[in-house]
Amino acid sequence: MPSPAPIILNVNDDLASRYVTSRVLSLAGFQVLEAGTGSETLTLANESTDLVILDVRLPDMSGLEVCRRLKASPRTRNALVLHLSAQAVGAADRAQGLEHGADAYLVAPVDPEELVAQVHALLRLRRAEREVRVLSDQVQQQRRLLDLAMSAAADPIALYDGDGLLIFANQAVAASRGSHHVHVPGRSMDALRQQDPQLEPYAKALEAARRTGQVQRGQVTLSSDHGPRHFEYTMSPAAGPTGAVEAVIATGRDITELRNAEDFREQFLGILGHDLRNPLNALSMSAQQLQRQGEMTDRQKVFTERILTSADRMERMIRQLLDFARARLGAGLPVVRSRCDLFDVVRGAVEESRASHPHREVMLDVRGDGRGAWDADRLEQVVGNLVSNALKFSPPESPVRLSAEGLEQEAVLRVHNLGTPIPPEQLPHLFAAWRRAGRSDREQGVSAGLGLGLYITEQIVRAHGGSVQVSSTETRGTTFTVRLPRG
C-alpha cells in the first residue's frame, strides 16, 4: 500500500501567489491546504502537517511569530517551516527567519523546480529526524530495561569504567554487606580500598582485568552485618574498538550461603542476554542503513553515531553477561533439526573466514554426501568456532585445512592447523566451561572466550548425538574432529 502524499500548508495572503505555489505543489504530488492569515494557519496546522510554506508578512501577525508558535506547540513542533517571501528578502531577514525556528528560507519569485526540490529535501530531513527519534527512543528503552534488570539482579553486580571508577552497583551489592557497604558510584577503586582494606585482593583483580583485558576470578572474605561472608567473583573486561579496556563488569556470589540461588541467577542472565540482543541488532542495522543512505545533516550524523556508539556499548555488556551465563548453565544447548547440507555450512564458514582474513589461506576438501537432519544455525557456530580457533593459534603463513566427508551413517568434519601444540595436560580440560588447569603459553593474550567457544562447540555436537575430539602434536599440528550422525 503506497504511503499517503505529504501534507503541505501553503500560507500567503496574496491570492495569486498562493494559487501559483499551490498549483506547483499539487502537480508535484503533494496534498496542499491553504491559509491566508496567521490565525488561520495556527488553526489548520496539526500533527499530520508535514510542511508549512509561510509568508513572512501576513495581515494579522508576523510570519515569524506564527513560526515561533508552531515550533512551541506540542501539536505542531515537528512540522517543518519554509519561509517564502517577496518582500523580506535581505540577508538580515533570512537570518531572522531562521533564528525564529524556520527550517529554510526562499525569496520569491522562486523557480518551480527549485521550490519542489527544496520541499523534497526538507521532507527527507523530516523523515530522517523521525527515524532517528524512533531509534533514539528504542535505545533509551533498551538502556532502561538493562539498568532495571541489572538493578534487580539477585547477586552483586558492579560496573567500572576503564579507569577503575565505580559507575554502577546494584542493590545486591549493598544488601550483601549492610552497614559495611562502601560501593558507592563515583568512587575510585583506590578510595574503596582505603575505606575497606579487606577489598585488597578484589582491587588487585580489578587492576589485572583492566591491565590485561583478561577475565579475572577469585574469592574474598568481607565483613557484613551477619559476620564474615565469603564471596566468589568474576571480573569481565570489555574492550573498545582500539582494544583498550573501556569497562569491567564484576559479578559476585555469596558462597557462604544461598548456593541454590546460582541456578536462578544464570537463567536470569541468559534470558536477559537473549531478549536484549535481538532488538539491539535491529537497532544497529537501522542506524547503519541511515548512514549508508547519506544526505544527512551534521546534526543527524551526530544522532546516528550516538545511537551506534550506545548500541555497541550495550552489546558488549550483554555479551559479557551472556557468555558468563552460558558457561555456567551446563544444561546443554537446544537444537532444532531440519534437512540441511553440512557441506554448505562449511563452505559458508570458509568464505566468511577468507573474507575476514584475506591474508590467510583456508583450504577445503569435501567428499561424499553432506546432507542430514541437523540444526544448520548451530552447526555454523561449531564450524565458525573451530575455524576461528585454528586461525588464531596457527602461524600467519601456514594454511588452515578443513575436510568434510559424508559417510554412510555419519558426516565427519576435520579442522587442522599447524603451530604450537596444545600441552598434553590441557587436553582433558579443553572442552570444560571454566578450565581449572593453568593457562598455557598458547593462550597468552587471548580473551577468555576460547574456553567458552570450545565448551559451546562440544555442547552443540553432543546435542546432535555426535562427538568432538582433538589431537595435537608438534609434528602433525592440531586437528579437531567432529562426528555427526545423520539423524
Read off the pLDDT of each residue in 450-455 and give the average, rounded to a whole number: 62
For residue 40, the one-letter residue type is E
Distance CA 264, CA 357 (A): 40
Read off the pLDDT of each residue in 215-226 and give the average, rounded to a whole number: 88
- Report residue 319: phi and psi, to 5°: -60, -40
Q: How many CA atoms lie within 13 A of 451 on its CB side?
A: 24
Burial class of residue 462 in the structure, from the number of CB atoms within 10 Å of its CB (0-12 exposed, 13-18 middle, 19+ buried): middle
pLDDT given at position 452: 60
Ranked by mean pLDDT, which of 43-47, 106-110, 128-132, 431-435 comes out on top?
43-47
Distance CA 364, CA 69 (A): 68
157 has which bridge partners? 251
For residue 484, the surrounding DSSP H or E stretch is strand 477-485
Which residues are CB-neighbours of 469 under 8 A, at least 6 positions away? Answer: 480, 481
pLDDT given at position 269: 61
Grid coordinates representing 129? Answer: 529526524
Three-state SS for 224-287 is CCCCCEEEEEEEEEEECCCCCEEEEEEEEEECCCCCCHHHHHHHHHHHHHHHHHHHHHHHHHHH
Q: How confident is the model at residue 96 (pLDDT cuts 50, 70, 90)?
A: confident
Q: How confident is the model at residue 360 (pLDDT cuts 50, 70, 90)?
A: very high
CA torsion through residues 435, 201, 325, 315, sign = negative
pLDDT given at position 407: 94
The yes-or-no verdict on residue 341 having pLDDT over 90 is yes
Percent above pLDDT 90 for the chain = 41
pLDDT tens for 107-119 read 888 889 989 999 9
pLDDT tens for 41-51 read 999 999 999 99
pLDDT given at position 148: 80
6-15, 95-104, 117-126, 367-376: range with lowest mean pLDDT: 95-104
pLDDT given at position 445: 42
In the chain the first and final C-alpha atoms are separated, in Å, by: 45
Q: How confident is the model at residue 281 (pLDDT cuts 50, 70, 90)?
A: confident
At 371, is the secondary structure helix, strand, or coil? strand
What phi-psi label fits residue 345: left (phi over 0), alpha (psi between -120 and 50 degrees) or beta? alpha
Burial class of residue 64 in the structure, from the number of CB atoms within 10 Å of its CB (0-12 exposed, 13-18 middle, 19+ buried): buried
Inter-CA distances, 247 with 5, 135, 177, 215, 287, Å: 48, 24, 24, 12, 24
The yes-or-no verdict on residue 429 having pLDDT over 80 is yes
Do 32 and 10 form a contact (C-beta atoms < 8 A)? yes
pLDDT given at position 299: 83
At 222, is the secondary structure helix, strand, or coil? strand
Burial class of residue 475 in the structure, from the number of CB atoms within 10 Å of its CB (0-12 exposed, 13-18 middle, 19+ buried): exposed
Alpha-carbon dihedral 131, 132, 135, 139, rounded to 10 degrees:
-170
Domains and CATH numbers, the chain: 7-110 (3.40.50.2300), 153-259 (3.30.450.20), 338-485 (3.30.565.10)
Read off the pLDDT of each residue in 154-162 and give the average, rounded to a whole number: 89
The yes-or-no verdict on residue 362 having pLDDT over 90 is yes
pLDDT given at position 215: 95
Grid coordinates representing 484? Answer: 555427526
How many Å separate Cα 365 from the centre of its chain?
36
pLDDT tens for 365-387 read 999 999 999 999 889 889 988 99
Q: How confident is the model at residue 450 (pLDDT cuts 50, 70, 90)?
A: very low
pLDDT given at position 274: 60
The yes-or-no verdict on residue 456 having pLDDT over 90 is no
For residue 209, the surrounding DSSP H or E stretch is helix 200-212
Percent above pLDDT 70 for the chain = 86
pLDDT given at position 356: 79
The DSSP result for 318-361, as a single string, is HHHHHHHHHHHH-S------EEEEHHHHHHHHHHHHHHH-TTS-
pLDDT given at position 317: 59
